[in-house]
Structure 1
Amino acid sequence: MLKVPLDYANPAGTVIELGVLRVVATGSDPIGSLVVNPGGPGGAGTEFAVQVAQAWGNNSARERFDLIGLDPRGVGESRPTIDCYTDKQRDDDPIVSGIPAGALTWTAETARTMLQQCAAGSGGAEALAHFGTKDAARDLDVLRAALGDDKLSFLGVSYGTRLGAIYAEMFPGRVRALVLDGAEDPRKDLKQRQLQLFGGLQRSFEQLAKFCAHEPECPLGDNPAQATPALQKLLRPLVKTPMRASDGRTVTFYTAIQGVIVGLYAQEAWPAVIASLAAFKKGNVDMLLALRDAYNTRSAAGAYTNAAEATLAINCLDERQLTVDEATNLVNETNEVAPFLDPGIDVKTHYGCEGWSTASTLDFPYATNIDGLPETLVVSVTGDGLTPHEGGIALADTLGARLLTVDGEQHGATIAGNPCIDDIVANYLVNLKLPDLATRCAL
C-alpha cells in the first residue's frame, strides 16, 4: 500500500492508503516502472497491470519495464473506498449504473441521498472532497518518487488520458513518456463532452446495426437506417412495464440499454448483443441482464465493485455544477444526438452531483498550454464510441503529441493484441521513438 495525504494542503493530517501491484519486468535490464491506469474513472490499476502484462506477452516493453498498477484514491484496494450504494440498491436502481449521468434523470431527493450515502460510506465528507483527479495526479507523483524513478512513464486509457494529461500539466518536467489511449477531449466542458460521447455511442450503435442487418433474423431488421426505431419499439415498453428475469430481478428500460451499450465497446461484442436482443424479442431478458451485469462489474454472487460509484463521485468533483434547466436540457440534447437511448418520455431532472462542492476541482479546458513537456503519444481509434476520434485529435493537438490513428470499431487499442500498435507503443516507451506522422494501424 502507498500512503499519501488525504489533503495535500495539510500533509501532516489524515493519511490514506492506495493499492499498488507490481508485475516485474521479464528482462534482466529494466529501464524502470510503467504506471498504468485503465480509466473509468473508477477502474482499478492493480487489475489493469495484470491485463497489460497478459496482452503484451514478452515484447520489449514488458522486458524493460515493471508494470505498476495503482488503484486511485477511493478505488479498488485503496482505503477509504468510495461506497455509495448497497448491492441491493445497485440491483434495483439503474440510475447508479455506469451510464453517464446525462442519460438519466435525478430528483433533488435522489441526488441528496447519493451525496449523503457517499459521504457516509467513503470516510466522511472530508474524504469525499478529495477524490478528484488533481489529487490523484499528486498521488502519481508520490508513487513515482517511491518507485525510485526520476521521471514518470505512464499508460492511461479512457479517463486515464485525463489523469495523464493533468499530471503532465502539473509536473511537466517529471514526465519521461506518456501513452494516452482512447482520449477524452481536454477542450470540452461537461455538456460538450457528454454530447460528443453520446454522439459516438449512436454512431457505434449504427455500425452494430449494419453488421446485424447481414445476420439471419436480425432483431433490428434488415434496414440499418431503421435500427434506432426498431430498438425503441423493442425496449420502450419496459418504461411502463418492466420485465422479470429468471432470478427475480426487474429489468427496466435503462437496465436493458446497459446491456446494449456494453456491446459498443468493441466489435467483438456485437454478436452477443444481437443474440441478447433476439432472445429479448422472444420474451427472455436474461441475456441482456447478463451483459448489463458485465458492464456493471457484478459478480455471479451479486456483488459489485465500486467502479460505477467512483465514476460518479470523481466526476462530481471534477465537473462544474449544472442548474435544473441545464441538466434537463442536457438530457433532451442527449436524446437528440443518441436517439437509441431515448425512452420516449418527457423529463425534468436535477443534476446528479447537486449539493457537492460548488466549484469544479478541475479547470476545463485543461492541459492546453504546457511548457517543458517531452514528446508524448496519443492513440485513437476511428470508431471509438466512448471517446470519439475527434477527442484524440484534440488531445494530441493540445499536448503537441504524436497521434497514432487506428482504424477500427473499439474503445481503446493498446491492449488489443495488435502487432502494429504494440510495436509502436513499445518502441516509444523503450526508445522514446515516435512513429512517423503518416503511420496508421488497423484492428
Structure 2
Amino acid sequence: MRFRVGMRVAVAGLVLVAAGCGSSEDGPDAGLEKFYSQNVTWGSCEGFSSGQILAEVGMQCAKVTVPVDYSKLDGDTAQIAVSRLAASGAKVGSMLTNPGGPGGVGLTMPVMFAKSEVAQRFDVIGVDVRGLGSSTPKVVCRTPEEFTAERTDLDTDMSPAGIAQTEKEHRELVAKCVERTGTEFLSHVGTVDVARDFDVIRAALGDEKLTYFGVSYGSRLGSTIASLYPERIRAMVLDGGVDPANDSMVDLELMATGFQTAFEAYAADCAKAADCPLGTDPAQSTARLRGLVNPLIERPVPAGDRQLGFMDAQSALLNSLYSPLYWPDLTKGLTELTQGRGDTLIATADLFASSEFVERDLQMAVLCREDARVTDRAEAAAQDRRIRATAPILDDGHGSDQAPLDVCAIWPVPAADKAGQDYTGLPPTLAVATTGDPATPYQGGVNLARALGSKLITYEGVQHGAAGVGIACVDEPVTRYLVDLTVPQEDLRCAAA
C-alpha cells in the first residue's frame, strides 16, 4: 500500500507476533541444550556491519548459533551476529538490546550507552536479529539498484491498468524474495523466532536471567519474550511501546495520527519564524506542505546532479518528524523546495534509505509474516481513505474507491498468529512512553505498561523514544532500575528541563 511504501515504518513495530510457547522453567528447553551451552568467542568486529564504528569504541563481535526452525532442532542453523561493549566496572551481567524496526540494525546500539553508568555495570549486547546485517542466512529480496529504482516508482495511478501494473510489480518482488531467500527461511523470521534466539543468546553469555532494553518494535519483541519466558527475566525496559493486544492495522492508523500530530508540532514551532516555508499560520501548514510536495509527482526539481521526486520528499518529511533534532534540516529543505531545489531533502532521503538504520527486506518479511493481510481492494482503499482523512500530510491527491493489494497480500508463507499475552511470573518491568511520539503513539505505551504490569515513565515531548538519549528525568530512574532493580514506587511524568 502506498502509505506503507512512502512512510518509514522502520521503528514502528506494527506487527502481529507468531504463535508459540516456551518453557517457563529456568532450565533449557528440551533438546536445546547444545545451543544454550555453546561458548561465545569474542573477537574483532572486522568484517561485521559497521565494524569500524564498533572498533572505535572498543567493542567486540561474535556469532551465536541457533536453529532456523525451533521445531526441527537437528535441521539447519543460523548464525546470529552479536556485539559487546564490555562492562568497565563491577559487572552485574549482560544487557541485550534491540533498536526496533523490525529490521533495525542492532550491532551499533550499545554505542548509545557508552558514556553511561549502564555501560559501567553491564556488558551491553547488540544483536543483528536473524536475517539481518551480519547474521546468516540473510533475507534478501532486492539489490541496491532495485531499491534505488523503487524510490521513483510512485504507484499513484489508480485506474484499472495502474492497479494491475502495481500488483504485477508486487508479484515480481515476491518472486525475487523466494528466489533469493527461500520460503523455508522466510517462514522463520518472525518475532517469536527472534525471542527464542534472545533466550539462547542469554544462556550462551552465561546469564541466568535476561536484562533487556528494547525500543519501538523492540517493545513488541520484549513483550513476546515476557510471554514466553517470564521467569527468565531479570529486568526489562520497553521504550516507545506498542500495545501487544492491538491488531496491526489499528496500529497503522494510530501511527498516521501520530505523524500528523508531530507535523503540527513542527509546523507550530516553524511558524514562530517569519521566514518559515510553511508560513506563520500553523492552521494552513498542512495545505502549504501538500502544495509544495504534491507537484513533485509530475515535476521533480533539481537536487545537485539528480532530481528530487515525490517519494524522496515524503520520506525526508516523515523521517524528519521522528525527533526535533531533525527539524532544522527539514525547514532548510522545505525552504529550498520553495525555491525549486531539493538538495537537502534528497540528502535526508538518502540517509534514511541506507541500510544504516533499517534493512527493508527483513522489515518487509516480518511485517508480511505478522501483519493482518488485506486481500480485498475495496477494503485496502477504505483504509487508505481513513489514513488520508486522519493524516492529511500523507494525502498525495490520488485517493480512489479501489487500491492495489500490497506485497503482504500475496506473501508466499502463511500468516502467523498472535503470541500469548499471559505474563504470569514476570518480575517488575519498566515502560517509557512519549506523549508526542509519532511512530508509536503514547496510548500504545500506556496499554503496554498496563498489560505487563509495568511502572510507566511518561515523557512530555515530541520524539520517538526517550530513554538513553540524555533526558535526565527518564535516564535516572531507568538506570537505577537496570542496575539496582529499584522500581519507581509510582508512575512518573516529566519534561525536558
CA drift at 1:256? 0.4
Are 1:317 and 2:369 matched, yes or no? yes
**Contact 2:85–2:119 (8 Å) recurs in 1:** no
Are 1:261 and 2:318 matched, yes or no? yes
Are 1:12 and 2:57 matched, yes or no? no
Provide, for residues 98-157 of structure 1, a one-character-per-residue CA deviation record: whole Å limited to 9, x for no partner: xxxxxxx893222212222222233x2211111111111110111011011111110000
- From 143, 147, 170, the counterpart of 1:86: 143
Inter-partner Cα distance in structure 1 for 2:357 and 2:453: 36
- From 326, 334, 348, the counterpart of 2:387: 334
**Stretch moving more, 180-189 or 347-356:** 347-356
1:206 is matched with 264
Q: Partner amino acid for 2:183?
A: A
CA drift at 1:244? 4.2
What TM-score does the superposition give when structure 2 sets the normalisation length? 0.81
Are 1:107 and 2:166 matched, yes or no? yes
Change (3 A) 1:92 1:251: farther
Determine helix, strand or coil for the equivalent of 1:21: strand
- From 272, 280, 298, the counterpart of 1:222: 280
CA drift at 1:359? 4.4
**Contact 1:5–1:11 (8 Å) recurs in 2:** yes
2:249 is matched with 191
**Contact 1:76–1:305 (8 Å) recurs in 2:** no
What TM-score does the superposition give when structure 1 sets the normalisation length? 0.91
Determine helix, strand or coil for the equivalent of 1:118: helix
CA drift at 1:247? 3.1
CA drift at 1:368? 3.5
CA drift at 1:422? 1.5
Inter-partner Cα distance in structure 2 for 1:346 and 1:4: 45
Q: Partner amino acid for 2:105?
A: A
Determine helix, strand or coil for the equivalent of 1:34: strand
Inter-partner Cα distance in structure 2 for 1:296 and 1:111: 19
- From 64, 87, 92, the counterpart of 1:25: 87
CA drift at 1:306? 5.8
CA drift at 1:435? 1.7
Determine helix, strand or coil for the equivalent of 1:283: coil
Determine helix, strand or coil for the equivalent of 1:441: strand
- From 272, 275, 283, the counterpart of 2:340: 283
Correspondence 1:21-420 to 2 at 5 A: 21-27=83-89, 29-53=90-114, 57-59=115-117, 61-94=118-151, 107-122=166-181, 124-248=182-306, 250-297=307-354, 307-323=359-375, 324-347=377-400, 348-356=403-411, 359-363=414-418, 368-420=421-473
Work out the number of aligned pairs and report it.
422
Inter-partner Cα distance in structure 1 for 2:412 and 2:141: 17
Inter-partner Cα distance in structure 1 for 2:153 and 2:99: 20
1:100 is matched with none
Inter-partner Cα distance in structure 1 for 2:142 and 2:274: 41
Inter-partner Cα distance in structure 2 for 1:96 and 1:51: 35
Inter-partner Cα distance in structure 2 for 1:305 and 1:385: 17
Inter-partner Cα distance in structure 2 for 1:418 and 1:305: 22
**Contact 1:90–1:96 (8 Å) recurs in 2:** no
Inter-partner Cα distance in structure 1 for 2:178 and 2:412: 13
Q: Which runs of 5+ in 1 are unaligned?
A: 98-104, 299-303
Q: Partner amino acid for 2:361?
A: E
Inter-partner Cα distance in structure 2 for 1:406 and 1:306: 25
How well do the aligned residues superpose, as a CA RMSD in angstroms? Answer: 1.9
Inter-partner Cα distance in structure 1 for 2:489 and 2:379: 43
Provide, for residues 363-409 of structure 1, a one-character-per-residue CA deviation record: whole Å limited to 9, x for no partner: 1xx56432111110000111111111111001001111111001111
CA drift at 1:95? 8.3
CA drift at 1:171? 1.0
Provide, for residues 140-178 of structure 1, a one-character-per-residue CA deviation record: whole Å limited to 9, x for no partner: 111011011111110000100000110111111111111
Task: Report % sequence identity.
Answer: 38
Inter-partner Cα distance in structure 2 for 1:82 and 1:195: 27
Determine helix, strand or coil for the equivalent of 2:463: coil
Change (3 A) 1:221 1:382: same
CA drift at 1:72? 0.5
CA drift at 1:305? 7.0
